[in-house]
Structure 1
């Protein structure tokens, strides 16, 4: 499972690098007199991929915003219950979102949807990064809930 989370982290980093390269190409292109077609769209798709693929590694690293002030003031029993409830809600929402994201990927693939810009990119490609990120995030939430149930903090 660590390999899957590491893969999501590497893919997110590659998306960030891709955004940098597309923007750099656009800046250099303007200076030299050429335009990179659909640069803004590509950077937007990669940014969405970066964000969603980075959800699970960020959760595992403890980087998501939490209500630590509230949790630290609770006794251990209620604290575990509040954390478990939050993880259960998050897991439910994550699974719901992942399911519908994959359904959208399948629909875009089935109908052959293309990006509306100059570059006719099949939409299922960038959508699949979003769906993959949501799926791995739901898995990370499930892992955190499992660890909490087994007594880990």
Structure 2
């Protein structure tokens, strides 16, 4: 069952990362067209709206992948001095704390999205509904919660932990 859940989690991570990547390509295109247009005195109308809203997709779309690849910032000053069991407990605790934080973000943004929908809030120029992007943030936060819970479950089941030293070695820093 754990393998099946991990497979579905990986698929959700891939989907959210794909959407975040597509958002990045959109932002690059919008900025390119806007800069060229400004050079000719014709900036792209609504560029700020598009970039601002698409940043939600970029940042939160990649968050689950960042966790999956252990890409978060780690301060490991005392890790070498702690026993393996304590380091594992800290990793599990940090994954669970991260899941709680992202669940709270999702809950707060869900409430905000409902308000935005009720008040018909939209972006300044293009009138894009804010609720769409807020609901996307809720979904991406949910995927991140699932990823963090999966990491905690794997660590609890005895999966090997990834140490920062191994991550640095695998990056081939010179």
Q: Distance in 1 between matches of 2:84 and 2:136?
A: 38
Is 1:43 matched with 2:73?
A: no
Q: Which residue of 21, 30, 43 corresponds with 2:38? A: 30
Q: Which residue of 34, 37, 59 corresponds with 2:67? A: 59
Is 1:124 matched with 2:131?
A: yes
TM-score by length of 1: 0.91
Q: CA deviation at 1:35?
A: 2.3
Q: How many equivalent residue pairs?
A: 152
Is 1:79 matched with 2:87?
A: yes
Long gaps (5+) in structure 2: 1-7, 162-174
Runs of 4+ in 1 over 4 A off after TM superposition: none
Q: Distance in 2 between matches of 1:7 and 1:139?
A: 14
Q: CA deviation at 1:141?
A: 0.6
The alignment's C-alpha RMSD in Å is 1.5
Task: Indicate conservation of the 8 Å contact 1:53/1:132, yes or no.
Answer: no
Partner of 2:78: 70
